[in-house]
Amino acid sequence: MELAMPVNSSQRPTVGMVLDHPFPPDSRVAREATTLVDAGHRVHLLCAQDKTTPCPAEDSYKGVLLHRVDAVQQARQQPWCDARRSKVWACGLLKNWRYQHHGIDTPWQWAVEDFIQAYDIDILHAHDLRVLPATIAAAQQSSRAVKVIADLHEFYPALIRQLKSKKSARKGKRAYQRWVGFEQRWLPQADYVWVLDNASRDRLLAYPTIQAGKVGLLPNVVSVAEFDAMPPNDAIMRQYVGKPTLVYAGHVNHLGRGLQFVIEALPALLNIAPDCRVVLAGATRPDYETHLRQQAERLDVSHAIDWTGHLDDMGMAEYIQAATVCLCPTVESEQTNSGIPNKVFQYALYGKPQVVSSAKPQTRWVEANQAGLSFASGDVAALTQAVAKLLNNPATAEAMGQNGRQAVLSHSSWEAITPAFLAVYQ
């Protein structure tokens, strides 16, 4: 498929985004990329090919030019006897050694090098820490003066520790230390760094090599224009009319989501409101879904839980609009203390009161804006009490929901932060 190149009449810098997983979906990536397109930038997105359901290698998404690659397969097609790109560096021990000791994924570095040359990239935007070393290494090999912007979607060292600790606490600790070291090594080499929250910014600025003027806030706020005009889904609204409906919107994929606490609270909530429903609106991971379903059966509450399966952002919004109370019960951790989930802002935009766990950024925002109630992470009794308070006091719940909506409209929307975002790419 040959793509029509959008006209860049303003001669704004050409932006090349690098994402090492398939796209779409990713609401943060989409929001940033389309905003740059709307501002007159030519935007290319280099992303991973989906191996389960392959998509066109060359494609477009709302004006963003997509280039899907299997970076490993491409690297293995390199000759053995090349001075710099021998495929020996893309295979086995040498590939793993370079990744473990330098954070550089060699196949992705080569893919980004080709990307820069093919599309005359002026600014590289690396989506998350994992792909940043390869992106910077590629920029340093280029004959062009390419700037690099790091977009930290999360506290990646904490995430990798959480994942590795499932096998061994020692492996988790070593992975965490390694990626903190990569933060300290690679982030100072970026021209700018986006983080989710002030806590993340403060943590990075504790590193002596990172300058305060190079770190900016880019929270996971929602676009009012995109979501506010969407009409309710009449069928979903009818399904839950008159029923106290608790909605969780997002991935249902691991214990860190905290949904096991919601199910544990459900017997007590059904005593308060016998027709109460819990809606888990989002894609599930089989092992976690099985765990939750078994828990629900044991507690005899399966009849009160609805599972929607995979939904895009708009599909989740339809269920949020039908909610009485919205939930974000995530387990408090270093990872969840690094930023506010997108769902908190989306709940607020639709005027829904919410109950959130004590993960610090979301609690701080909800309490500061009087948009809902918080509970100590993992405290089922406190979660039950918070939900019951909102269900038993509809006027209070309505007021909190409207407080949250006004907070989004006044200062916590994508529209509010767009000027600061675009200024970095001029």
As a whole number of angstroms, the distance between CA 56 and CA 400 comes to 45
What is the per-residue burial (b if ≥16 Cβ within 10 Å, else e) of 365-402?
Answer: bbeebbbbbbbebbebebbbebbbebbeeeeebeebbb
Residues 170 and 241 in one domain: no
CATH of the domain at 190: 3.40.50.2000
Judgement on whether residues 108 and 212 belong to the same structural domain of the protein: yes
Burial 327-343 (b: 16+ CB within 10 A, else e): bbbbbbbebbbbbbbbb
- Co-location of 375 and 249 in the same domain: yes
In a domain, 9, yes or no: no
Looking at the fold, whether 237 and 314 belong to one and the same domain comes out as: yes
In terms of Cβ atoms closer than 10 Å to its own Cβ (0-12, 13-18, 19+), residue 411 is exposed
- How many Å apart are CA 85 and CA 367, to the nearest integer? 54
Could you tell me if residue 398 is inside a domain? yes
Please tell me whether residues 21 and 162 are part of one structural domain: yes
Strand, coil or helix: what is 418? helix
Q: So what's the pLDDT on residue 6?
A: 47
Same domain assignment for residues 235 and 335: yes
Residue 378 in domain: yes
d(CA 327, CA 228): 20
Q: Tens digit of pLDDT for each residue in 41-100?
A: 999 999 999 988 888 999 999 999 999 999 888 877 776 666 567 666 677 677 788 888
Question: What residue numbers bound the domain in which 362 lies?
Answer: 224-410
Task: Collapse the DSSP code of 94 into the 3-class scheme (helix H, G, I; strand E, B; otherwise coil) and give the result.
Answer: helix
Does any domain span residue 276?
Answer: yes
Residue 9 is predicted with a pLDDT of 47
Residues 203 and 282 grouped into a single domain: no
The answer to whether position 333 is within a domain reads yes
Number of domains forming the structure of the chain: 2
Q: Give the residues of the chain that fall short of pLDDT 50.
A: 1-7, 9
CA distance 189 to 34: 26
Asked if 245 and 167 sit in the same domain, the reply is: no
For residue 2, what pLDDT is reported? 42
Q: Are residues 113 and 198 in the same domain?
A: yes
Going by the DSSP 8-state scheme, the letter that residue 330 receives in this structure is: P
Q: Is residue 248 located within the same domain as residue 301?
A: yes
Closest by Cα among 381, 416, 354, 135 to 265: 381
Same domain, 249 and 156: no
- Identify the pLDDT of residue 53: 83
Nearest to 28 by CA among 313, 280, 347, 314: 313
Q: Which amino acid is at 8?
A: N
Q: What is the DSSP string of 240-285?
A: HTTS-EEEEES-B-SGGG-HHHHHHHHHHHHHH-TT-EEEEES-B-
Alpha-helical regions (H) of 6-91: 27-38, 71-76
Residue 6: inside a domain, yes or no? no
Question: Are 207 and 317 found together in one domain?
Answer: no
Residue 344 included in any domain: yes
213 by Cβ neighbours in 10 Å (0-12 / 13-18 / 19+) ranks as: exposed
Question: What does the CA dihedral 221, 329, 130, 55 come to, rounded to 10 degrees?
Answer: -70
User: Which DSSP helix (H) or strand (E) runs through 375?
Assistant: strand 372-375
pLDDT tens by residue, 190-242 = 999 999 999 899 999 999 999 999 999 999 999 999 899 889 999 999 999 99
pLDDT at res. 77: 76
Please state the φ and ψ torsions of residue 289, each to the nearest 5 degrees. -60, -45
State the pLDDT at residue 201. Answer: 94
Residue 202 lies in a domain: yes
